[in-house]
């Protein structure tokens, strides 16, 4: 088969990323060569893909996870435009994996027209090399103030003729209003590309939901392709601060005690997915905190990466967290800094080129013997080495930074072939590498050290983080295969949205009860119906006006 699909959502965090990943895994298991794509992403969580020459390219973290779900290597073409909010209301624009320019919210709107050819070239390149391209939209397609020169939603769908499915999150409430309202705000031309809908995060008896699905199908003339049951623990790598507001599961400890980890919730926190592997370990509680007291009370405190190191360091001082970090060092309590957080722990940070701030030099927290200098060129690399103070554990990660760090003394944290990385002074540790906690050996040795220093009876788990992530992709693939009308989706992917709207299709599917169990039920078009009635939109909408 050949084709493409755009997965849009009624709002941010409706489940676009997760469902796109599930579609990638399902199609890959069916023998389809599939690639993810997001034309424009706005996220501070990013990843380093490698191009054909081995050079680093920065893309959104979700597209890297979707590539893993598809079983393919991530590449810059999968996210040709990445926006990273920086300091002073500026946004760094990353184009095909490289820093392109800085923009404001207003100036970027005029820039988008020039970026559309780049987006289309990347998309068509993927489409020529893969059987199917699963595209993820951005935000909502009904943001009418942003529709002009839109790159990621219906602007892409229209120019590249990509059939579209709309996802709604029923767990938040207002499902039918959000779906119908979205459709009402689309022009007739945009609306014609929407083949149907998917309900996400449903809890309860499908019989209660069914009348609403039937009425919505009647109102819009489009089917529901199915309902994804609420299934905790399947979140994809988060990309914005909304992910930090969700409760984080703490697995029961295998021994008596729990290790409490506090991550400073910096205003411009980036790559907070670095700490997902900690939650993977039994008996490790991870919290993102804003108070000095919470940071001081933790067994392990972490200063994370940030897109605005100098501004976030000023914020750290304004809320008193700097004193908590210094007190931790005085008491010998374990503290870890990653990338920007590592730079904060040093002696000085200079920014002569004005990469982040007009401040040319600022004093760090003075807890590690390092100095950082910002340069315009960004380091993008994947790295690996060993941690000599942690049993010689192998560790790998990736680098995304403008800062060049010079260590004046003290021992390095990691050693590699001809290089030294990071710094350790007592129980204060720092590294420029993101993703190091995904290395099972290093993560566990670090936590064992924390438990020992804190006098805790704590035991590591034995499941690798990579295996847990792979199992999560498999569960996502199962959710798509078991709960969506696969035949109708395949027709839609191949471009026959009109056929999907006309033809009912009875399939067997699973629906979730309130306890998360499943039962079999029959319904047209997966968990809905395909009604051949025409859309009941106002006459002005039928003419294509908004």
> Domains along the chain?
3-39+113-235+471-542 (3.40.50), 255-460 (3.40.50.880)
Q: Are 133 and 126 in contact (CB under 8 A)?
A: yes
Query: Which residue's entry shows tokens 């078009």?
Result: 525
Mean pLDDT of the chain: 88
Both tokens assigned to 460: 């590591």
DSSP state of 99: E
**For 166-194, how does the pLDDT look when each residue is reduced to its tens digit (9 = 90+)?**
999 998 889 999 999 999 999 999 999 99
Cα distances from 18 to residues 24, 69, 191, in angstroms, run 10, 10, 23
Dist CA 118 CA 114 (whole Å): 8
Given this model, what pLDDT does residue 1 score? 87
Given this model, what pLDDT does residue 497 score? 52
Q: Which residues pair with 428 in a beta bridge?
A: 335, 425
Structure confidence at residue 200 as a pLDDT band (50, 70, 90) = very high
DSSP state of 443: H
DSSP state of 238: P
Given this model, what pLDDT does residue 399 score? 96
**For 492-512, how does the pLDDT look when each residue is reduced to its tens digit (9 = 90+)?**
999 855 544 543 332 323 333
The share of the chain scoring above pLDDT 70, in percent, equals 88
DSSP state of 392: T
pLDDT tops 60 at residue 203: yes
Task: Identify the residue with better confidence: 289 or 536.
Answer: 289
pLDDT tops 50 at residue 539: no
Structure confidence at residue 250 as a pLDDT band (50, 70, 90) = very high
Given this model, what pLDDT does residue 178 score? 96
**For 355-394, how does the pLDDT look when each residue is reduced to its tens digit (9 = 90+)?**
877 778 899 999 999 999 999 899 999 999 999 999 999 9
Please count the other Cβ atoms lying within 10 Å of the Cβ belonging to residue 238. Answer: 19
Given this model, what pLDDT does residue 511 score? 33
Q: Are 18 and 149 in contact (CB under 8 A)?
A: no
What is the number of residues in the chain?
A: 546
Cα distances from 545 to residues 144, 180, 534, 539, in angstroms, run 12, 16, 18, 9
Query: With 0-12 CB in 10 A as exposed, 13-18 as middle and 19+ as buried, what is 418?
Result: exposed
**For 435-491, how does the pLDDT look when each residue is reduced to its tens digit (9 = 90+)?**
999 999 999 999 999 999 999 999 999 999 999 999 999 999 999 999 999 999 999
Please count the other Cβ atoms lying within 10 Å of the Cβ belonging to residue 102. Answer: 15
Residues 6+ apart with CB under 8 A from 44: 84, 85, 239, 240, 268, 269, 270, 271, 307
Residues 6+ apart with CB under 8 A from 36: 20, 21, 24, 63, 66, 67, 69, 70, 78, 133, 134, 135, 136
Active site residues: 339, 434
Task: Give the helix, strand, coil percentages of the chain, each rounded to 5.
Answer: 35, 30, 35
Q: Which residues pair with 338 in a beta bridge?
A: 431
414 Rama sector, left if φ>0, alpha if ψ -120 to 50, beta otherwise: beta
Given this model, what pLDDT does residue 33 score? 98
Label the pairing between strands 34-37 and 132-136: parallel
Given this model, what pLDDT does residue 239 score? 60
Residues 6+ apart with CB under 8 A from 545: 187
**For 289-329, how does the pLDDT look when each residue is reduced to its tens digit (9 = 90+)?**
999 999 999 999 999 999 999 999 999 999 999 999 999 99
In 3-state terms, what secondary structure has residue 58? strand
DSSP state of 477: H
Q: Are 35 and 66 in contact (CB under 8 A)?
A: no
Query: Which residue's entry shows tokens 């590539």?
Result: 67
In 3-state terms, what secondary structure has residue 282? coil
Structure confidence at residue 238 as a pLDDT band (50, 70, 90) = low
Given this model, what pLDDT does residue 538 score? 44
Given this model, what pLDDT does residue 28 score? 98
Residues 6+ apart with CB under 8 A from 83: 40, 41, 42, 43, 91, 92, 93, 94, 108
DSSP string, 127-165: HHHSSEEEEE--S-TT-GGG-TT-SSSHHHHHHHT--EE
Nearest in space to 354 (alpha carbons), one of 374, 331, 383, 382: 374
In 3-state terms, what secondary structure has residue 428? strand
Q: Calculate ∠ Cα 430-436-440, nearest 5°.
A: 125
Nearest in space to 36 (alpha carbons), one of 545, 445, 476: 476
- Angle, helices 440-454 vs 465-483, to 10°: value is 120
Dist CA 345 CA 369 (whole Å): 9
**For 406-441, how does the pLDDT look when each residue is reduced to its tens digit (9 = 90+)?**
998 889 999 998 899 999 999 999 999 999 999 999
Nearest in space to 310 (alpha carbons), one of 284, 256, 346, 273: 346
pLDDT tops 60 at residue 514: no
Residues 6+ apart with CB under 8 A from 317: none
In 3-state terms, what secondary structure has residue 386? strand
Structure confidence at residue 540 as a pLDDT band (50, 70, 90) = very low
pLDDT tops 50 at residue 541: no
Label the pairing between strands 370-387 and 393-407: antiparallel
pLDDT average, residue stretch 220-229: 95
Cα dihedral 170, 176, 182, 187 sign: positive
């Amino acid at each position: 088969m050949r084709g493409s699909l755009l997965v849009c959502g009624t709002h941010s965090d409706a489940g676009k990323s997760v469902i796109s990943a599930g579609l990638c895994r399902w199609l890959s298991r069916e023998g389809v060569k599939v690639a993810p794509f997001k034309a424009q992403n706005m996220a501070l969580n990013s990843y380093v893909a490698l191009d054909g020459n081995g050079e680093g390219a920065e893309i959104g973290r979700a597209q890297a996870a979707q590539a893993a779900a598809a079983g393919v290597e991530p590449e810059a073409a999968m996210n040709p435009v990445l926006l990273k909010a920086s300091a002073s209301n500026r946004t760094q624009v990353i184009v095909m994996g490289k820093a392109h320019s800085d923009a404001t919210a207003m100036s970027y709107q005029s820039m988008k027209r020039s970026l559309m050819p780049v987006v289309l070239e990347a998309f068509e390149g993927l489409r020529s090399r893969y059987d199917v391209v699963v595209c993820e939209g951005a935000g909502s397609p009904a943001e009418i103030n942003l529709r002009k020169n839109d790159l990621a939603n219906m602007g892409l769908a229209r120019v590249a003729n990509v059939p579209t499915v709309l996802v709604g999150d029923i767990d938040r409430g207002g499902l039918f209003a959000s779906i119908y309202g979205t459709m009402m705000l689309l022009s007739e031309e945009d609306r014609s590309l929407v083949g149907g809908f998917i309900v996400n995060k449903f809890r309860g008896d499908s019989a209660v939901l069914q009348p609403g699905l039937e009425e919505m199908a009647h109102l819009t003339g489009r089917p529901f392709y199915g309902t994804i049951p609420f299934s905790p623990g399947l979140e994809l790598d988060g990309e914005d601060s909304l992910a930090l507001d969700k409760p984080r599961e703490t697995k029961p400890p295998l021994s008596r005690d729990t290790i409490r980890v506090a991550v400073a919730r910096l205003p411009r926190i980036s790559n907070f997915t670095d700490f997902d592997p900690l939650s993977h370990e039994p008996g490790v509680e991870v919290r993102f905190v804003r108070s000095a007291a919470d940071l001081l009370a933790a067994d392990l405190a972490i200063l994370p990466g940030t897109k605005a190191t100098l501004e976030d360091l000023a914020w750290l001082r304004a809320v008193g967290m700097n004193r908590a970090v210094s007190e931790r060092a005085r008491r010998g309590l374990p503290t870890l800094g990653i990338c920007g957080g590592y730079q904060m722990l040093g002696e000085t940070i200079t920014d002569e080129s004005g990469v982040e701030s007009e401040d040319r030099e600022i004093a760090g927290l003075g807890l590690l013997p390092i100095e950082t200098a910002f340069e315009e060129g960004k380091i993008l690399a994947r790295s690996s080495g060993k941690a000599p103070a942690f049993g010689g554990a192998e560790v790998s990660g990736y680098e995304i930074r403008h800062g060049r760090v010079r260590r004046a003394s003290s021992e390095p944290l990691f050693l590699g072939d001809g290089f030294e990385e990071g710094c350790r002074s007592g129980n204060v540790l720092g590294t420029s590498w993101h993703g190091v906690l995904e290395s099972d050996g290093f993560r566990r040795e670090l936590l064992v050290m924390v438990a020992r220093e804190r006098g805790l009876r704590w035991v590591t788990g034995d499941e690798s983080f990579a295996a847990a992530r792979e199992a999560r992709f498999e569960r996502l693939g199962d959710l798509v295969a078991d709960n969506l009308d696969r035949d109708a989706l395949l027709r839609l992917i191949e471009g026959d949205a009109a056929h999907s709207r006309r033809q009912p299709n009875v399939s067997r599917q699973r629906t979730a009860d309130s306890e998360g169990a499943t039962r079999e039920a029959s319904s047209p078009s997966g968990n809905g119906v395909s009604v051949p009635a025409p859309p009941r939109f106002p006459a002005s909408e039928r003419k294509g006006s908004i």
